[in-house]
Structures are given as structure tokens and as C-alpha cells.
Structure 1
Amino acid sequence: MKKIITLFMTVSMFLTASLKAQNSGEVSYTFSYEKFKGEPKDEYEMSARMMADKTAEYARLHLYRLKFNAYESYFDVEESLPIDDSEGAFPFNVSKFTFSNGIFYQNTKTNENLNQLTTMNELFLIEGNLRRDWQITHEHKRIGKYNCYKAILSCAGCDNNQEIVVWFTPEIPLAFGPAGLGGLPGLIVEATKYRYTLSIKEIRYFEKDLTIDKPNEGKKVTAEDLKEMQMKVRRNMTKG
């Protein structure tokens, strides 16, 4: 494994020299969803599947955007125009948070990974570090014009104990990715969590350096602290 990472880092060093004039840019991703297979067990599961399908339909309409400069990145979801349908209001609102919630900021110099989001009617700023506990595999494939390699984030480090699978390319030596995923020796061009996938659609480079705004508002917490707060709220609602 160390040999694989060393090889990727060496390749990235050579490629970085050719990308110095393209330090800033924007990556757009498309959303896709794998539908459930087989027949539902009961009406409850059928209703849940229909809601999931409807939510995914709306999620495909949003713009998933990663802005970056040489050391920082900023990921957010720009929602599509609101729908004019009262029955679809709930799945539309949920669709904005299907793959991730809030905005994400990454900094390779300071090793920061911030997530600003609103939950429980309060604004939070989740503080953390860039993920370095990826399992980089020997699997590779071509996505578009990029040679990509597979990396896995184990269930122990994922939301809701779901494994995250990504494909990154050393041909774009940026340690960034969508939804706070990063820390790999190359840009993440595809990421899958549960049944949801974000895939690179386009990357545009800017002639001038892009200023990335670092989020600083919100109650500062760790991911573990926020999960405990949310569990406490759920327990109180159950008791009530």
C-alpha cells in the first residue's frame, strides 16, 4: 500500500508542474441514483421506494459544484428552480441534502475540512481534518478522458455506517473532491455513497487565481458532537 501511495505522489509532483498556470477552477458533477431491484415486501416499502425515486429525480436537477485554487476548495449544491407542486415539496426539499448537507471547505495547507450546515433550526460549523484513512486499491478504469483509481472509505468512517467508494485521477493532482471528500493524491471524479453517485461533468480552469471564502459562522462542533446532539433530540421526541 505504501508503494502505491508513493507512486501516486511521485506522479502528482510531475503533473503539478504542468498545472501551475491552472491553479484555479471549477468542477461540476452530475447526480445519479441506483433504483431498488425486485418487488417491495409491502405497501410501506413500496411507498418508501416511490419517495426515494421522486427525491432522486429532483436531486438530478441540482448543480453540484466544486471551486478550487492551489490549496483550498469549496463545495456546494445550487438547487434548481422550486417546483410548483405541493405534493412534491417534501421530496424536493430532501433532494438538496441527498448526497450531502451544507457547504464544505477544504485546505491542504492547514489540513482543514469544514462543513457548515443548518440542522435543528441552528447553524453549525463542523470542524475536522482531511481524510487520510482511504484504502487505495489496484483497481483502475477510465472515466471520460481520465485514468482513475479506486479508493474506499471504510464503514467505520462513514455517515450511517455506509461505505464510500470513489475514483480519483492523479492526472489532476488536487487533493479535493465533492461533499468534503478528499485527501487523495488526485481529484475525485466519481463518488458513490449508498445508492447515490456524483460523477464529473466538466472542469473549467480560470486564468486568474480564485479566492475561496472560508466559512466561519455557526456553532463550532465536531461531527461526533453533532451526532450526539441529534440523537438526544430524537430520544426526547420519542419520549414525548
Structure 2
Amino acid sequence: MKSILLKISVIFLTIGLSNGFTTDGAEDIQDFQGKAYYFSKAKMDLGTWGARLSEGQKKEIEARMKNRLQKNYVLTFNREASFFEEAEQLDAMSGATDSWGKNFTPGHQYKNVKTNSQVQNQEFYGKNFLVKDSLQPIEWVMEKETKQIGNYTCFKATASISTHDLAWYNFSWNTLNDDLDGDTEKETPMTAVEAWYTPQIPVGHGPLEYWGLPGLILEVSAGNTTMLCSKIVLNPKDKVEIKASDKGTIVTKDEYQRIISEKMKEFRANRGGRR
């Protein structure tokens, strides 16, 4: 059964950009820090199954999935390190946090471009994992196109990255079915990535797995996901220590994927076998 989260096409808002970004404080070379606020908004594609639903039913499903389709994030960064986290959201229907969805969403993420290291805290069915690995290798192609995002001039860069590597914290029933069928000869799916970065903030940081450009990434589109920065605060008065999480069972990204797959196999078996 294909995860419904993979059947989304992304639309994104431009509200708030007409007045430009907010930039507070002058840069201190020795103690530089910033905060970038991102948002993404996705629209569900229910495919042929959705064609049998009424408009009322579609709206009800979208309302129930709202907290998974609309996300807000904060990236705190200095010259070498960054800390990326999702703002907590309440379920649109029940007022509770989305416990099921949290199993397959990115946790608090620490990246260090100097040491080429990443530490991400993931919770899977009540157990905490500390996923330690290298940063995602990205071979960026620098393009000539530019555009204005808020008050910042941005340059375009593109890349092609393994879909599995971009969403190692997620889960797909299709992947599990391929493993059960012993199909190891399938071509590795790749995701086309388009990023817009600004040299006006010369740090190599960005949201999620993205990094390594000569400027902060303000917008990134990858497959069915688009993320846009809506506000930047440079050198805020109240600075925070940017450090990695230190609690959880230490694993690599590949090991974490194997753990998820094994647990989902058990889940399927307990629910009456393979569908």
C-alpha cells in the first residue's frame, strides 16, 4: 500500500515576503548567529481513488491531514553549525499532536559543515534514536538564473540525489514490498533538487539534508516537497548554543532504515499478513 504522504504535489505561499525579510542586529564576526524561519505547504493528490470521493469527503481528508501537509521550521545557525527543527503543531481535528506522523518525520537535526557531520534525533514508536552520520553528499550544479526572495538576491543551483538518501527517516510500503519480493535490481530512484541561495548570508547551511552552497539556502524544491524561508533574524539579542542532541541509541542512517523496515514487517504480520 503506497503511503499517502508520497502522493502529494506541493504549493507554497508567498504571504509575508512582500515586505521583505526581517533582519535584526549587525554582524559580529566572532559571534555570528542567525535564525531562518521556513514553511512548506502541500496539496494532497488522491489519484484514482480520490475520483470516487465527493468534494466534502476530500475536504474532510485534507482537514485531517493538515498538520502533515503544512509545516513550519526554524534553522538556527552560525558559520560552522546549524540546528533544524519543526515547530510543534496540533492535529487540526482532535487538538492532539500527530503521533503516527511523527514516526516518519525528520527530528531535531544538527549539521556541522566544518566536520562534515550530522546528528539527528529520531523517535520511532516511543524509542529514541541518535542518528549519527556524514552529511548528505551533494554535487551542486551552479546555474546562472537569479531571483529576488524578500530583500535577498538568490542564485539557482540544481542537483540529482538518491530519493532514499533524502528521506532516510521516512518509510514506504513500496520499498518494503520490493524487499519481500527480492527485487534488488530495480534502478535507484533519483530526485531532482532545485535550490535558491543568497551569497548575502555567506554560510553553507540549509534546511533538512541540504547544505554546501556559498550562501544560505532560502528555497528548495525536491520532488513533491518545496520549502521557503519567510523570515531571517541575524545576530539576535538572545543567542543560543548550537549543539547536537546527546540522548538516544546511536545508529547510522542505514541502520535506522533497517530498524524501521523490520518493525513495519512485524506490524504488517500482526495485522493479518501481507496485503
Report TM bin, short chain: 0.7 to 0.9
In the TM superposition, what are the counterparts of 1:18-167 in structure 2 within 5 Å? Answer: 20=29, 23-36=32-45, 40-43=47-50, 53-54=62-63, 57-58=66-67, 62-80=71-89, 82-83=90-91, 85-86=93-94, 92-93=98-99, 100-138=105-143, 140-142=145-147, 143-144=149-150, 145-155=152-162, 157-159=165-167, 161=189, 163=191, 164-167=193-196
Paired residue for 2:247, among 210, 217, 225? 217
> Does the CA contact (< 8 Å) of 2:156 and 2:194 recur in 1?
no
Residues 17-48 of structure 1: CA deviation (Å, up to 9, x unaligned): x8737720101012222453xx8413598599
1:6 is matched with which residue?
none
How large is the RMSD of aligned CA atoms in angstroms? 3.4
1:193: how far off?
Answer: 3.5
Give SS of 1:23's match: coil
Residues 148-198 of structure 1: CA deviation (Å, up to 9, x unaligned): 212224235332656243222233211111124212222111122442321
40-49 vs 159-168, which moves further: 40-49
Q: How many percent of aligned residue pairs carry the same amino acid?
A: 21
Aligned residues: 217
> Does the CA contact (< 8 Å) of 1:29 and 1:202 recur in 2?
yes
Change (3 A) 1:94 1:239: closer
Q: Which amino acid aligns with 1:74?
A: F
Paired residue for 2:235, among 201, 206, 210? 206
1:8 is matched with which residue?
none
Q: Which amino acid aligns with 1:85?
A: M
- Indicate whether 1:190 and 2:212 are aligned: no
TM-score of the superposed pair, with normalisation by structure 1: 0.74
> Does the CA contact (< 8 Å) of 2:109 and 2:244 recur in 1?
no
1:109: how far off?
Answer: 2.3
- In 2: Cα distance, 1:195 partner to 1:40 partner: 14
Give SS of 2:48's match: coil
Q: Which has the higher helix share?
A: 1
Q: Segments of 4+ in structure 1 off by > 4 A?
A: 43-52, 59-62, 92-98, 207-210
2:263 is matched with which residue?
233
TM-score of the superposed pair, with normalisation by structure 2: 0.65
> Does the CA contact (< 8 Å) of 2:204 and 2:214 recur in 1?
yes
2:199 is matched with which residue?
170
**Structure 1: segments with no counterpart, 5+ residues:** 1-17
56-65 vs 212-221, which moves further: 56-65
> Does the CA contact (< 8 Å) of 1:77 and 1:96 recur in 2?
no
